[in-house]
């Protein structure tokens, strides 16, 4: 056993570098230690929980109306014990499973150990009820409850969380179809087509049910009861249930400022954006599974979401996406510039030639609003709520959101469009700022943190928070042929090799054979041209197999 441990420790640095190679400007040895720390602690936060839960299954109309001050749950049921295998955001501070965190946790885990990530995903999906609901916070058993204030024990079957498990569909499909490379631990699913088919066949109905549950329970009120702009698409508008004047915990952005007071006619731009991203993912899944009827259904949902984002949530005066509410009998957009303003872009719903893309990039790049030396801040400097009260999502830099921003900017920068050059520059600068901030704080404190100060870059809130902050692992290899970036947004992140394969497969056999003969005959001049011309212009490239 001791010998195997020594062998594992000796091989571990090389294995980490193989899966998460570091390219400019992060080749230094200190970054090698840093990447090993990140993946080790993320995996070390994997835990098994077992126990009962407190659930309110009453579906009270009061919960639907969204005013919950001083209310007591109508009925609390103690469920039968269930089990969960999940990564935890922070072992000392949040030692339990959180639904919207887990989708981000699994993005780097999919690269490291595909089968482990699938096992964790299956464990979460096994908690789903017959309607498609999964409790957003898994407080299983008395030991887990001892770490949580009693006011938060009860889970409500009408309450959602951002459906980040659906973010995993495109990366999983990209790996299984060999459209994205895999350098992690050996995988049963990636080596066996029959196991892969069985896996996807099991996952498809569960993820579809989860998607439809979200649309059914979080739908906004688009009836004639409340005024709306002309031309909106029926059904495709959403509102987080469970909101109070000070918090919208279900959105995941707890104290991010919203319209006050809460109103049953309000609509949330981030909720609509999550549905759009989920519809895109399910559309890709349905295409792969050849579910023709579902393909059209999900495509229709996605198209309607995009139209309603611009009709219901785009504010021409502020040139940004905003929440909406009803005030004094009139439709009104409420604009707090920050992460929710970026959600349509971050989740792949604002394309390279979208009319509003320049304004979105202007907002991101403005140091007087969201851009900081340490990453994108969660709320604009000029907002009246900036760094006020709890100051949780009111200005601090959150790294999982910044990772989404870098990925999305990189995708826009790879496509034809007016903003291509600016997006590439912003992606490179934001990538460097994000990684350096987490790294410098880790060097000085020894910890990964929940969030980072937008002025100083110092870690804030919970320490030893190697949960979704560990997503910065995905940025180290961003320049390495974009291999770590493919798959998150599906069609917005095409893999060139897949396109070549599809093109070749459409040609006659004699053409493919003739092309191969020509390539073999010209291999020497091609190599000479590569070494003397192309490679000389790429100083940042280096072999992934050599540790700096």
- Catalytic machinery residues: 254, 450
> 59: which DSSP letter?
-
> 78: which DSSP letter?
E
Q: Tell which residue, 241, 19, 237, 212, has the closest CA to residue 136.
A: 241
Residue 6 three-state SS: helix
Q: Tell which residue, 241, 325, 268, 246, has the closest CA to residue 65.
A: 241
Q: How far apart are CA 366 and CA 410, in angstroms?
A: 18
Burial, 93: exposed, middle or buried (Cβ in 10 Å; 0-12, 13-18, 19+)? middle
Q: How far apart are CA 298 and CA 324, in angstroms?
A: 25
Q: Tell which residue, 520, 530, 376, has the closest CA to residue 454.
A: 376
Distinct helix (H) and strand (E) counts, the chain = 18, 13
Q: How far apart are CA 139 and CA 292, in angstroms?
A: 39
Beta bridge partners of 84: 49
Q: Tell which residue, 348, 214, 385, has the closest CA to residue 273.
A: 348
The three-point CA angle 256-259-265 to 5° equals: 125
Q: How far apart are CA 136 and CA 256, in angstroms?
A: 18
Q: How far apart are CA 201 and CA 191, in angstroms?
A: 17
Q: Token pair for residue 433?
A: 């700022």
> 152: which DSSP letter?
G
Strands (E), 115-178: 137-138, 154-156
Q: Which residues contact 414 (CB under 8 A, 6 or more apart)?
A: 420, 424, 482, 493
Burial, 545: exposed, middle or buried (Cβ in 10 Å; 0-12, 13-18, 19+)? exposed
- Binning the chain into helix, strand and coil, the percentages to the nearest 5 are 50, 10, 40
Task: Kindly give the interhelix angle for 269-289 and 169-176, rounded to the nearest 10 degrees.
Answer: 20
Q: How far apart are CA 407 and CA 411, in angstroms?
A: 6
Q: Tell which residue, 122, 123, 124, 116, has the closest CA to residue 184.
A: 116
- By the 8 A CB rule, do 400 and 104 touch? yes
Place of tokens 């809460």: 262
Q: Token pair for residue 168?
A: 């995993």
- By the 8 A CB rule, do 407 and 474 touch? yes
Burial, 54: exposed, middle or buried (Cβ in 10 Å; 0-12, 13-18, 19+)? middle
Q: Token pair for residue 229?
A: 């702009």
């Amino acid at each position: 056993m001791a010998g195997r441990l020594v062998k594992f420790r000796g091989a571990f640095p090389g294995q980490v570098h193989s899966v998460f190679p570091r390219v400019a400007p992060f080749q230094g040895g200190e970054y090698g230690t840093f990447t090993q720390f990140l993946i080790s602690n993320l995996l070390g936060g994997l835990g098994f929980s077992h126990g009962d839960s407190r659930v309110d299954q009453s579906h009270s109309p009061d919960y639907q109306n969204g005013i919950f001050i001083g209310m007591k749950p109508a009925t609390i049921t103690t469920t039968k014990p269930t089990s969960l295998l999940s990564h935890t955001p922070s072992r000392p501070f949040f030692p339990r499973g959180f639904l919207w965190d887990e989708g981000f946790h699994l993005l780097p885990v999919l690269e490291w150990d595909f089968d482990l990530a699938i096992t964790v995903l299956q464990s979460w999906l096994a908690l789903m009820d017959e309607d498609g609901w999964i409790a957003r916070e898994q407080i299983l058993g008395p030991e887990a409850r001892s770490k949580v204030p009693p006011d938060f024990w009860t889970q409500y079957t009408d309450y959602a969380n951002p459906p980040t498990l659906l973010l995993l569909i495109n990366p999983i499909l990209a790996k299984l179809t060999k459209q994205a490379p895999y350098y992690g631990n050996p995988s049963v699913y990636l080596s066996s087509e029959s196991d892969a088919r069985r896996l996807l066949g099991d996952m498809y109905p569960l993820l579809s049910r989860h998607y439809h549950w979200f649309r059914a329970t979080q739908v906004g009120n688009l009836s004639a009861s409340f005024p709306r702009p002309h031309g909106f698409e029926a059904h495709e508008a959403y509102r987080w249930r469970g909101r109070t004047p000070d918090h919208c915990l279900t959105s995941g952005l707890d104290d991010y400022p919203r319209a006050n007071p809460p109103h049953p006619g309000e609509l949330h731009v981030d909720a609509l954006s999550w549905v759009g991203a989920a519809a895109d993912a399910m559309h890709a899944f349905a295409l792969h599974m050849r579910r023709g009827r579902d393909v059209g259904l999900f495509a229709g949902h996605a198209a309607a979401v995009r139209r309603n984002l611009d009709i219901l949530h785009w504010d021409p005066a502020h040139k940004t996406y905003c929440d909406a509410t009803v005030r004094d009998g009139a439709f009104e957009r409420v604009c707090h510039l920050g992460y929710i303003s970026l959600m349509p872009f971050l989740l792949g719903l604002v394309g390279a030639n979208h009319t509003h893309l320049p304004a979105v990039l202007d907002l991101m790049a403005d140091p007087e609003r969201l851009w900081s030396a340490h990453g994108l801040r969660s709320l604009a400097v000029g907002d009246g709520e900036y760094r006020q009260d709890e100051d949780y999502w009111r200005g601090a830099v959150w790294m999982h959101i910044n990772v989404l921003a870098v990925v999305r900017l990189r995708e826009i920068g790879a496509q034809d469009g007016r903003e291509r050059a600016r997006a590439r520059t912003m992606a490179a600068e934001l990538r460097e700022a994000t990684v350096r901030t987490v790294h410098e704080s880790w060097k000085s404190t020894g910890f990964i943190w929940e969030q980072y100060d937008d002025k100083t870059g110092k870690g804030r809130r919970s320490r030893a928070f190697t949960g979704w902050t560990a997503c910065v692992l995905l940025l180290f290899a961003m320049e390495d042929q974009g291999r770590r970036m493919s798959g998150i947004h599906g069609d917005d992140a095409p893999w060139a090799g897949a396109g070549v394969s599809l093109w070749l497969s459409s040609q006659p056999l004699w053409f493919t054979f003739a092309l191969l003969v020509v390539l073999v005959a010209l291999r020497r001049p091609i190599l000479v041209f590569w070494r003397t011309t192309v490679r000389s212009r790429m100083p940042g490239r280096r072999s992934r197999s050599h540790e700096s």
